[in-house]
Amino acid sequence: MEGNGMVDVDMISLFPQNTFKNRPNGLRADLAQKLADLKPGFIRFPGGCIVEGRDLTNRYQWKTTVGDIEERKLIMNRWNVEFRQKLTPDYFQSFGLGFYEYFQLAEDIGAEPLPILNCGMACQYNSGEVVSLDALQPYIQDALDLIEFANAPVTSRWGKLRSDMGHPAPFNLKMLGVGNEQWESQYFDRYKIFEKAILDKYPAIKIVSGSGPSSDGGYFDMAWKELKQLHPGYVDEHYYKPPKWFLDNANRYDNYDRNAPKVFAGEYAAHPKESGNPEGRNNWESAIAEAAFMTGLERNADVVNMASYAPLLAHVEAWQWRPDLIWFDNLRSVATPNYYVQQLFAANKGTNAVPILRNGAVVAGKDSIYASAAIDKNTGELIVKLVNVTDAAVTTVLQLEKVTVPKQNATVTVLKSTDKNAFNTLDNPVLVQPVPAVVMVNGNKIPYVLEPSSVTVIRIKCKNI
């Protein structure tokens, strides 16, 4: 501008030139890259309780988060009044990051999008506000319109908006979540209406339903009883528990009904005791417990089709919840030990789970060792994951059957710490990180020493896979 005068400013949004994939109105490059480096199969958005809102007026509505940035409707964040360490709540959502950007992020990092929508219920821990069944149609229409926004041609109303925003091609949405952690009959009364409306119009969409806020108990049992009679693509289970629970429940899914709906372990994290440092709950004790538990997820991949640690991100000066996978300030970010556990499993998932047994039984905590195995038909490798939760080294022998193993240097990755309280910080970001190694393999019998308190991944080239 030149000359003298007065300017009224309505909305200003300042972005660095270096955004992820150099997209205008893009994402912070280091944070998005850390998500991409996890090699995720999917990304669930915008989250869990954030979908519900403290009340329905303040719920997350996807239609107010798309279109021109300056027209998106600002609301108070659902967590705004729950920052114990902040005297002045100032946590709002401008929706510069909205559903279009979430879909774009999923595409950019090679992940399937999994949006979660409000089911006509606010957070039951807060207001517990519920829409009457005869007033539920606008919420159902939001779900149907979202599928149109994601998948329909540009000749449709919502497909045209997607195109106008810069993405004429469909996002190829396959999954949609209805509700988050709702419970009791009021949820299932509403879920049934959503399910029928969605599947009548879009029968190929897989719906994610919820099992409530707990890993067991009356709400959980009721949910599964109801959902076995319905048709969800996945049942979302959540559990935030102490590390010992994760160690004790590594065989949780061994005896699940193989004919029941598939499980989505949608929110989980081991919660150790409080620490004076915000990042301190993301310590090695929590990470190794999650690794032990995840061997059970992999072993039961026919039941647990998807799993995701939660939450993903936390600012060191504006966190409401701990632990979180990635911590950051305004300039830097740090991957936690828990992040590296997730990354190890995702990067080494293989194509098919195979049995790994000790004396005929699954390896799920006996002598404090946990294990899972998979083959990768694309690379011709056997992938073995071994978790030693003791403070002592453990000598073991891998006996491989039904394959031929040529002489080779097999690749090994070890994540370990001798201090269960160790955690990564912005100033010391690599205290706990994966270390590559090799092991000499000569035949089907492979001696190996598991290091104390460690997660080990071994990849072995095999014939006859």
| Residue positions annotated with a catalytic role | 181
Q: Residue 28 is which amino acid?
A: R
Candidates 371, 456, 364; CA nearest to 416 is 456
Length of the chain as a residue count: 465
Rounded to a whole number of angstroms, the CA Rg of the chain reads 23
3-class state of residue 45 by DSSP:
strand
Pairing of strands 352-354, 262-270: unpaired
With beta carbons less than 8 A apart as the criterion, state whether 283 and 272 touch.
Answer: yes
Q: Residue 47: count other Cβ atoms within 10 Å of its Cβ.
A: 17
Q: Residue 25 is which amino acid?
A: N
d(Cα 330, Cα 6) in Å, to the nearest integer?
Answer: 32
Sign of CA dihedral 182, 210, 113, 146: negative
With beta carbons less than 8 A apart as the criterion, state whether 368 and 388 touch.
Answer: yes
d(Cα 459, Cα 384) in Å, to the nearest integer?
Answer: 7
With beta carbons less than 8 A apart as the criterion, state whether 55 and 126 touch.
Answer: yes
Start-to-end C-alpha separation, the chain: 68
3-class state of residue 446 by DSSP:
strand
